[in-house]
Amino acid sequence: MDYKDTKAASTTITYDKNELQEPTENIYEAISIIAKRAEQINSDLKKELVEKLEEFATYNDSLEEVFENKEQIEVSKFYERLPKPTAIAVEEWLNDKIYHRTPETE
């Protein structure tokens, strides 16, 4: 999924509790589902960032020398400006883009 085009808030906002718990009728279950999705998003973003940074990596044998590549800095800044994984997960939850099921009812 492309997280760069999300409309999630990049700052902290307050959500309506009733709106969050509406699909499950249980706020704790809703928060648990959102948290699991946020962990998935975070791992995807981290993996993507590491792959992009490795493209610009320069390896040398000297431990004293550290090279700061301008492209690496720009890529890092781009990922820092993205909304946080929890904000993306909440946005997906409110727009019914997260599939969830409960094994007890099936």
Q: What is the DSSP string of 20-62?
A: HHTTTT-HHHHHHHHHHHHHHHHHHHHHHHHHHHHHT----S-
Nearest residue to 90 via CA among 5, 21, 2: 21
The per-residue pLDDT for 106 is: 58
Average pLDDT, the chain: 86
Q: What is this structure's pTM?
A: 0.83
Q: Which two tokens stand for residue 34?
A: 């959102």
Predicted confidence (pLDDT) at residue 95 exceeds the cutoff of 80:
yes
Confidence of residue 29 (pLDDT cuts 50, 70, 90): very high
Chain segment 79-93, per-residue pLDDT in tens: 999 999 999 999 999
The per-residue pLDDT for 70 is: 83
Chain segment 41-78, per-residue pLDDT in tens: 999 999 999 998 888 776 665 655 556 678 888 888 99
Number of C-beta neighbours around residue 99 at 10 A: 7
Nearest residue to 31 via CA among 8, 42, 15, 13: 15
- Token pair 């009728």 is found at 25
The per-residue pLDDT for 83 is: 93
The per-residue pLDDT for 42 is: 95
Nearest residue to 82 via CA among 29, 6, 14: 6
